[in-house]
Structure 1
Amino acid sequence: MTASQTAVPPLIEIARQTRQAARHLAVLPTEARNRAIEGIAEALEAATPDILAANAADCQAAQAEGINPALYARLKLDENKLRAAIAGVRDVGRLADPIGAVQIQRELDIGLILKRITCPLGVLGIIFEARPDAVIQISSLAIKSGNAVILKGGREALRSCETLVQTIHQGLDQAGIDPAVVQLLTTREETLALLKLDHYVDLIIPRGSNSFVRFVQDNTRIPVLGHADGLCHLYVDAAANLDQAVAIAVDAKTQYPAACNAIETLLVHRAIAPTFLPQVATALQAQNVTLRGDDLTCRILNIAAATETDWATEYSDLLLSIKVVESLEAAIDHIHTYGSRHTEAIVTEDVATAATFLAQVDAAGVYHNCSTRFADGFRYGFGAEVGISTQKMPPRGPVGLEGLVTYKYQLVGQGQIAATYTGPEAKPFTHRDL
């Protein structure tokens, strides 16, 4: 075999193969796609030692390069995280098939029947940071929804992603599914080229910073589903249960500080600040959280002063900014000024105040008396997610299966022509829902 015969095909050929594989996947019955998902889960279980070894090598190399703690936390794939990801694959397999659902069935006239039916998008291009477990989540969701996927992970996770995709290919092959439905790119140059493949890729989902998402949007004609910063807030109202508020604040900041749904700013009503701030500060500092505050907060707590930059920063680490506000309206104004429309929460026992917050705060997720950490596809019962969309157009929030399908109109007649329904003697439509 010559070198040219063994060379990796150029990206456009990979895209063609992926598009062709997507067409076959889209028409497979539910049982076939579910078998593929179970095959992936079994292959991942069998390859667990290899996956963890590849990830350990990535982590070691990343530490040697001085990776920041937040990115390292996302990169690290230990046995518990891998086990949870495999459980998520099987959860996706148990979900209802999103393809082929009849959303509208309407008689336009006798013998002329219109249906609107859900169908796959086609080929997804997913560009994400150093998060190897995203490979597992995205691949299972794509296959369940009948879509093929081209993945591009962060360079820090290269070994992990390559091992995971090889393992997924084994599971697909054993289930009789073309492995080309899941592809992996490995270089920055391929990322830029992917953005030009508007004839082959139907949706790009970038997962990273606001600047990165904007870069992708500015450099492609492919529709983009943006997943940018997670700058989340918790507002503790004057009518809050303070013990509850402390527990929620600690969980929302420390349960997994690198997550995009962890809070970065704590807003506290002035009426309770002298009582609440010492309580919450003690609890947070016991979890090694570094606090920064506005002038009023610093008069109560011996902490560093927050700057304007702090209010606009997603720390993704054990750092938290605190601001005392005069009212609910001031809290909402702050959230609208600095928030990223990801997830926002209020703690209060006042039902009217909570209702105002839930109605007026513009975010994909708005919570009352619970942690922002619930903003997650798995916790919503989606099985997994391809990301959390912070845009206003749907899909919004955690994007699971329902965000990866579109629909088509099917019209079946018996020789009808449009001219029959126009002009002075036009036949009327029945427009009867069936």
Structure 2
Amino acid sequence: MSAPQDIIIDDMAQPRLTPAIIAAREGPADFDENMGVDEILSRASAMTGGLSDFGEDTGFRERLAVVLQSLAEDEGLTRGGRITIIDHAIRVMANRLRIEDLVKRHPEILDIEIEKPLIIAGLPRSGTTHLVNWLARDERLRSLTLWESEEPVPSAPPPPPGEPDPRALRSAEFWGHFESMLPHMAAMHGMDAASIHEDNELLYMDLNCYSWEFQTRIPRWIDHYFAHDRTPSYLYEKKVLQVLTWFRGPNRWILKSPQHMENLAPLKAAFPDATLVITHRDPVAVLRSLTTMLGYSDRIRRDPTDPQGLARHWADRIERLLHACLDQRDVWGPDQSIDILFHEYMADQEGMMRRVYELAGLPLTPEAERALLGYLDENPRHALGRVIYDLEGVFGVDVAALRDRFRFYYNRFPVKLEN
């Protein structure tokens, strides 16, 4: 196998803008980027042919109002960046309407058991995406594709047998356009419509997903998020999983999201019989990777891009996430949870797989083992290139000071410090 190609992004602070990126920064001319909560919900209703029942209000209207206020306060966000988030809010509220309508017509959905899910948590860029896509090769586990997470309930009758789902085609078209503007994204975090995705997209439907934060800088929203109990939103996610299981089983899920790491108690309340796997990686290495990925895509949504402000924001955010993780870690006992150190996982992936299966009480059949080991052969690390990071130079971070801030985490989890 040839050595991976090095990828150096040398225009982070002053990006070279293509016509497609310039157009994305501006967004559609006929879109009202200043719409409020009522108009967003009205547009979602119109998308679903007039459905109006959003189900129990677990605070999602208030959270939407806080998001909109926070967007207005983010002066560096481009018009197109703001439109992307508002359009996303309309879409997930339309999803919510379809979910409530389906459950109303088929109340037996709420009787479906979500049996002993296998849930992966961990910092962004700590191996969780690789792990969930890998273990999802075991067909005894139900997993969530990207396109399915974006539109859980179809808006039209299913296609004829053998024909692709229109939802998958829409997702592939959207992310294909995104990656054509940002060709290095595939080497950092590819968005293949058929790949296995994070279940935090399901939390979007209760408007309590921290993924808003990857697209903008909204401290007001973050404070609101931490000030309120997220358990009702995790229970709503469970409802969406029941809907998805009704369409297609099995009912034992494999799920993953970095957001779970700061929601261990709500996660346990919603899924008390789950097996929890937490990946742990040097948060400095996480910040190197995350800031590069987000800084690269910020050329679409921020003007100026402000790499140093991005690094400060995410250093604060990761510190807050890690404190929440440590505060709640003991909610999960050793009979249901395992902590995996990233460097140990990378050194012995097969061994880690066997430990996870043993903890989950899931027999490793010959068929499952062949599928899982085959995935490793097909997906070597850095297959699409190795991104070269410069946290100190490009993002202006004092790494020694950052390690001091994260000392509380290093003292609990002996992750390998990465240069």
The TM-score bracket by the shorter chain reads under 0.3
- The structure with the greater share of residues assigned to helix is 2
- The structure with the greater share of residues assigned to strand is 1
Which structure is higher in RCO with an 8 Å CA cutoff and minimum separation 6? 2
Question: Which structure has the bigger radius of gyration?
Answer: 1
Q: TM-score, normalised by structure 2?
A: 0.24
